[in-house]
Structures are given as structure tokens and as C-alpha cells.
Amino acid sequence: MEIHVAKSAGFCFGVERAVKTVYEWAEKAEGPLYTDGPIIHNETVVNDLIARGIRPLAPGEIPPPGSTVILRSHGVTKDREEELKAAGLTVVDATCPFVARIHRLAEEESAKGRQIVIIGDATHPEVEGILSHCPNGAAVIKEPEEAEALTFTADAKISVLAQTTSNRNKFDKIVEILEKTSYDVHVLNTICNATQVRQQEAEQIARYADGMIVVGGRNSSNSRKLFEICREVCRNTIFVGSVSELTAEWFSGINILGITAGASTPQIIIQEVQTYVRTEL
């Protein structure tokens, strides 16, 4: 069996930076240290931090005075940041610069009086954070059909932003629909480059592979999108959290195997999957 592992599999720049920030603060924080929710969608990393006494805060939880709180790579809402600062806590912002840029763009476009349309998942914390930077509100859509159903006045001026991990193919379809309307449409493709490269490479491998493994956390939205993309071109695609979910039977009949992983999947987990397929089958 030939094995093709995507070069872009694993931690992206923003996740790497956020995880590094936590480990650095573990050395220098004077009081208790927390992350505002799990620092990444990966149990191995989160459990390692818990073992070091660094616990993720529950939604809305305020830790004791003297604590330090690290904000995650996909950012938080303005209210949450202000609430933590108002409680007198040390707030360390590990928001990825690409996400922070969307916050700025949302504010600038809103200030011009334009209607904001965000392509993304309304329940994802990154989108909630972006929404909080839209003082006049925003429409959040995920599917092309939702773009068809948008109703603004015929001369509306709309600015389109995207969650950094959006599916590029869906983004293009939605933009195509919006550009056919009478609206004045300004498109800001804010899907991050790391995501685009990862999705393109995954799709490319999945097109010629007979079997494709996507490794990622259950709650990782970018990993699920990778799965979606690979599945469209290779029906024999599976999504696993770790090597323990693989079974030898699944590999029967596979001549070319592709492996990719989401932005929050540590190298060690990708390595374990590779070792399994190279040595155990």
C-alpha cells in the first residue's frame, strides 16, 4: 500500500502560537493559570495542560482574583474580554492575528454603513467573536441555499467576510450567488491561507487515493470540513480522533492511502497513525 501524508497536516501557525503561549505562561504566571475554554480542540493537549494545573474555564466562568487567563486562537467576544479584564485578571491574548484582522475588518466595514454577511458557523466561537465586532449586527450563513434566501433592499451594500476555516468551495459558491444579485457586494476572502493550502492538498490527495484518513478532534470544525472535502471526492474517507479508532478491516482493498489532519492535531497523533499503517498492517 502506498501512503501519502499531506505536508500541511497538523498544527497551523495560530494554533502553534497559542499552545506555545500557554506553555510559556506555565513557567512565568504567578497565580493560577487558565485558558478561556479548551486551548485547542484536542484532548491530548488539553489533558496534558490539566495535569499541569492549567484548566479550561467553562463558558462565562470567572476565575479567582490573581489568576491569568489565556484567550484562544479563534478569539472571544468583546464582552467576554471586557468581563475578564473588569474582574482584574491578567488577560493574555493568543488570538491568531488572522482572526484579529477579521475583527478589524468587521468594525471598519460596519463603520462604513455596510451590511455584514459572515460565511461560517453561527455557533462557532470564532464567528461569535467576529459578530461582536459588528455593531450593526450581521447575517451569518453557511450554505449556498441560505445565500439565495437572504433578503436585503435591492440597493443594499454588503461586505462578505468568512470564518478563517470555511470550506473554500462553498465560499466560492456563496460569493457567486451574491454577486448575481443587485446588491453592491464587497468580498473580503478571510479564509486563512493555512486553511486553503490544507484543504487544497487534502482534496488533491483524496482525488487519487482509494482510502483517505482525516485525523482530528470531534469538535474541531476545520477537521470536519477537511473530512467533508475529502469525502466529496473519495467516498472511502474516514474521520478518526486517534490511531485507536482504526481497524485493519477498513484497509482491505486500499492500494493508495491518503492521510491528512486538522489544524489542532498534534504531530504525535499523526505520527501514531502513520506508524500503525506502516508497521501493523
Cβ-based nearer residue to ligand SF4, 39 or 243: 39
For the chain, the C-alpha Rg in angstroms (whole number) is: 20
Phi/psi of residue 100, nearest 5 degrees: -60, -35
Round to whole Å and give the CA distance between 219 and 239: 12
- The residues, any chain, with a CB within 8 Å of residue 137's CB and separated by 6 or more, are 116, 131
| Angle subtended at Cα 228 by Cα 269 and Cα 202, rounded to the nearest 5 degrees | 60
Cβ-based nearer residue to ligand SF4, 67 or 199: 199
Shortest distance, position 74 Cβ to ligand SF4, whole Å:
6
For residue 253, give the C-alpha cell: 482493498
Shortest distance, position 31 Cβ to ligand SF4, whole Å:
27
Cβ-based nearer residue to ligand SF4, 89 or 263: 263
Residue type, 163: Q
Does residue number 98 form part of the binding site for ligand SF4 (CB under 6 A)? Answer: yes
Angle between helices 13-28 and 43-51 (to 10 degrees): 10
Q: Which residue has the CB atom at the shortest distance from ligand SF4?
A: 14
Does residue number 12 form part of the binding site for ligand SF4 (CB under 6 A)? Answer: yes
Binding piece for ligand SF4, criterion CB under 6 A, among 31-39, 93-101, 154-162, 230-238: 93-101
Question: How far does CA 6 lie from the centroid of its chain?
Answer: 18
Catalytic residue list contains 126: yes
Catalytic residue among 126, 128, 201, 203: 126
Does residue number 22 form part of the binding site for ligand SF4 (CB under 6 A)? Answer: no
Three-state DSSP at 120 gives coil
Cβ-based nearer residue to ligand SF4, 214 or 257: 214
Binding piece for ligand SF4, criterion CB under 6 A, among 6-14, 170-178, 231-239, 247-255: 6-14
Q: Order of strands, edge to edge, in the sheet holding 33-35?
A: 55-56, 33-35, 68-71, 90-93
Give the N- to C-terminal CA distance of the chain in Å, as an integer: 9
How many residues touch ligand SF4 (CB under 6 A)?
Answer: 14
Phi/psi of residue 57, nearest 5 degrees: -75, 145
For residue 29, give the C-alpha cell: 504566571
Question: Binding string, 110-129, against ligand SF4, x = CB under 6 A?
Answer: --------------------
Does residue number 263 form part of the binding site for ligand SF4 (CB under 6 A)? Answer: yes
Instruction: Out of 117, 192, 212, 273, name the contact with ligand SF4 by CB under 6 A.
Output: 192
Does residue number 194 form part of the binding site for ligand SF4 (CB under 6 A)? Answer: yes
The site for ligand SF4 (CB under 6 A) is made up of 12-15, 73, 96, 98-99, 164-165, 192, 194-195, 263
Residues annotated catalytic, as ranges: 126
